[in-house]
Amino acid sequence: MTIPERLSAFREEMRKKEIDIMLVLTADPHHSEYLSEHDKTRVWLSGFTGSAGTLVISEKEAVLFTDGRYFIQAEHQLKGSGISLMRMRVPGVPTLEEYVAERAENARIGVDFAMLDAKSGAEYSKLWKTELVDSGDMFDIWTDRPALPNSLANWMPVEIAGESVHEKLTRIRAKMQEASADAHVLSVLDDIAWTLNIRGNDIKNTPVTISYLYVDRQTALWFVDGGKVSEELAGRLLAEGVEIREYGDFFPFLEGYRRDARILVEMAKTSLKVTAALDGCELIDGANPSYLMKCIKNETEIRGLIRAHEQDGVAVTRFMYWLKHHEGPLGEIEAEEKLEGFRKEQPEYLSPSFDTICAYGKNAAMMHYKAMPGVDAAIEKRGFLLIDSGGQYVSGTTDITRTFAMGPLSDVQRMHFTAVLRSVIRLASAHFLSGMAGKGLDVLARGPIWDLGIDYRCGTGHGVGFRLGVHEGPNSFRWHSSPLKMEETVIQPGMVTTDEPGIYLEEQYGIRTENELLCKVREENEYGTFLEFETVTYVPVDLDAVVPEQMSQEERNWLNQYHAEVYRRMLPHMADDNEKEWLKYATRAI
């Protein structure tokens, strides 16, 4: 079926359910960022493959709302589909809420309640002055839809996790008691994985298991397909106080729950289907305790993530040497596969942490570009190649971007590359008082780029999980407001956050340099506790694109010290004298 044919069939389903306006979300029942193939309904219906967007369909119109990371990609992918692109946060473009509000009078507005969080559902109903209609799953028309994933869950021992399940549940129950809650219901997959010290393979590149978790003052119930849990794992969890129940029993359990209970749920991360099943209970809206706990890495996790970044550094540094010395034709996909090959040589490597972005020339102006077989670009001996990639390792998760000079560059290209590097350094070298939020630090990174009258339409950095999601809240660096207010999160010791400013010029090129930053205590004095960052990414920045004269002496000193550390850590892992000699050159002082 073509996209117009799919839309036509979907509209017929809407007519059967008497729905006038339908919201098709980029979502699953667990509010995951990355979805299983089974849950990519918006992708199937629209043809747009970006990881964020909401499709709004009525009898005569279909529009897709997405953010600045995907404007270029969406414009290409929606051509001929009958779907119009709505560029979010662009002057003159209505918001999703405004667009639907203009059409909401006397309209039945539908959405699958399993996919919409309860907070947004309440806000939409109030704004549009109507009760939303639960459409249920309307994708029987997707005849070759992939099945739900069914991978085995596995145990993460305390020697790697640094804290037992029993200890984590004790901390969660203390937060429940503070909220006077009888029970806590958890839908978010990485929170569940962290709490139970389990990892899985149900979501590509994100080691989680599709499930729900219920916790009360004495009991913890993990609702998961039984075929995913070995007897050994079930026994380990039972010893920690966790019982296994079938995934399909979750909603009957909630519907039969006593109605006088006080239940702690985070409305923004709990579906309308869950809250509807708890109708009659008193719902306490509060952040999932595990969400705030897992973002602060313990000492065992910190040691592990540094080990993971050292291995990742070896892979990316050796790839950089290979790339700089490669002769003959080279395409984006071949380069991507070569980098993956270097990662596979590392002893603790498991998988990518997200789909690699390997983008040459103008393709790199699309922040979330994906090279496709048969149409990937040839990499020439000029201009920029941007590669944003990462790995899942036994001991941690990595995320790194490097932009490589493939040959001659213009003065403007070198100026832009240097400005991005200066932006990275400004944030990485920050010293700040405890209590500072990511919103207040974001401007440090944007300064050198704003000085050029340029901006990038995304945040500067995001939290990174511990062998979990490569994008993990609540810590972030961003100046603009978001629905979850993550930009207001105070940056605390133990948080790991990316530092990734960039410049993206449509139809020309894109530049991004990305390191991960570990927040640490710098000093305590009469003014309070001062914090700083330790850069835990160990890969050279391509000095072939840098203009040292455009950097301050402090910025050059930082870069030289960083490269000295990269050299120290990477030198023992270079394959031969040629790689070692090149590494010395690649990390030279400027």
Angle ∠(337,340,343) on CA atoms, nearest 5 = 160
Mean model confidence pLDDT for the chain? 96
Whether residue 100 lies inside any domain: the answer is yes
pLDDT of 62 above 90 = yes
Task: Give the domain-ending residue among 294, 325, 342.
Answer: 294
Residues 258 and 234 occupy one common structural domain: yes
Whether residue 140 lies inside any domain: the answer is no
Tens digits of per-residue pLDDT, 147-173? 999 999 999 999 999 999 999 999 999
Query: What's the mean pLDDT in 487-514?
Result: 95
Residues 190 and 89 occupy one common structural domain: no
What per-residue confidence (pLDDT) applies to 475?
95
Angle between helices 553-570 and 299-325 (to 10 degrees): 90
pLDDT of 484 above 90 = no
With beta carbons less than 8 A apart as the criterion, state whether 357 and 429 touch: no
Whether residue 149 lies inside any domain: the answer is no
pLDDT band at 485 (very low <50, low <70, confident <90, very high): low
- Cβ burial of 196 (10 Å; 0-12, 13-18, 19+) is buried
Whether residue 160 lies inside any domain: the answer is yes
Integer Cα distance of 396 and 392 in angstroms: 6
pLDDT of 453 above 90 = yes
Residues 122 and 223 occupy one common structural domain: no
> What's the number of domains the chain is made of?
3
Tell me, what CATH number does 104's domain have? 3.40.350.10
Residues 449 and 382 occupy one common structural domain: yes
Burial 52-85 (b: 16+ CB within 10 A, else e): ebbbbbbeeebbbbbbbbbbbbbeebbeebebeb
Whether residue 451 lies inside any domain: the answer is yes
Integer Cα distance of 353 and 516 in angstroms: 14
Residues 458 and 579 occupy one common structural domain: yes
Residues 425 and 475 occupy one common structural domain: yes
What per-residue confidence (pLDDT) applies to 274?
97
What per-residue confidence (pLDDT) applies to 233?
97
State percent of the chain over pLDDT 90: 93
Question: Is the whole model's pTM more than 0.85, yes or no?
Answer: yes
What per-residue confidence (pLDDT) applies to 377?
96
Residues 288 and 320 occupy one common structural domain: no
Task: Give the domain-ending residue among 245, 260, 294.
Answer: 294
**Nearest Cα residue to 196 out of 154, 227, 226:** 154
Integer Cα distance of 21 and 189 in angstroms: 30
211-216 — which CB contacts under 8 Å span 24+ positions?
211/247, 212/185, 212/186, 212/187, 212/247, 212/250, 213/185, 213/186, 214/183, 214/184, 214/185, 214/186, 214/250, 214/253, 215/169, 215/172, 215/173, 215/176, 215/183, 215/184, 215/186, 216/182, 216/183, 216/184
Tens digits of per-residue pLDDT, 428-444? 999 999 999 999 999 99
pLDDT of 481 above 80 = no
What per-residue confidence (pLDDT) applies to 372?
86
What per-residue confidence (pLDDT) applies to 262?
97
Query: What's the mean pLDDT in 70-90?
Result: 92
Whether residue 146 lies inside any domain: the answer is no
* CA distances from residue 385 to 380, 398, 507, 511 in whole angstroms, order as listed: 9, 20, 14, 8
Tens digits of per-residue pLDDT, 24-59? 999 999 999 899 999 999 999 999 998 899 999 999
Neighbours of 202 (CB within 10 A): 24
Determine the distance from the C-alpha atom of residue 432 to the mean position of all C-alpha atoms in its chain, rounded to a whole number: 26
- Domain, as residue range, for 499: 299-586
Residues 403 and 422 occupy one common structural domain: yes
**Cβ-based neighbours of 334, under 8 Å, separated by 6 or more:** none
Residues 256 and 315 occupy one common structural domain: no
What per-residue confidence (pLDDT) applies to 369?
86
Query: What's the mean pLDDT in 176-187?
Result: 97
Q: Which helix (H) or strand (E) holds 43?
A: helix 41-46
Tell me, what CATH number does 304's domain have? 3.90.230.10
Question: Could you tell me the two tokens for 284?
Answer: 């306490």
Tens digits of per-residue pLDDT, 537-566? 999 999 999 999 999 999 999 999 999 999
Residues 128 and 234 occupy one common structural domain: no
Query: What's the mean pLDDT in 299-322?
Result: 98
Tens digits of per-residue pLDDT, 327-354? 999 999 999 999 999 999 999 999 999 9
Whether residue 305 lies inside any domain: the answer is yes
What per-residue confidence (pLDDT) applies to 539?
98
Task: Give the domain-ending residue among 294, 326, 341.
Answer: 294
pLDDT of 130 above 80 = yes
Residues 316 and 264 occupy one common structural domain: no
Residues 118 and 185 occupy one common structural domain: no
Integer Cα distance of 490 and 500 in angstroms: 19
pLDDT of 483 above 70 = no
Tens digits of per-residue pLDDT, 356-407? 999 999 999 988 888 988 889 999 999 999 999 999 999 999 999 999 999 9
Tens digits of per-residue pLDDT, 559-582? 999 999 999 999 999 999 999 999
Number of H helices, E strands in the chain: 18, 28
pLDDT of 318 above 70 = yes
Query: What's the mean pLDDT in 235-249?
Result: 97
Whether residue 142 lies inside any domain: the answer is no
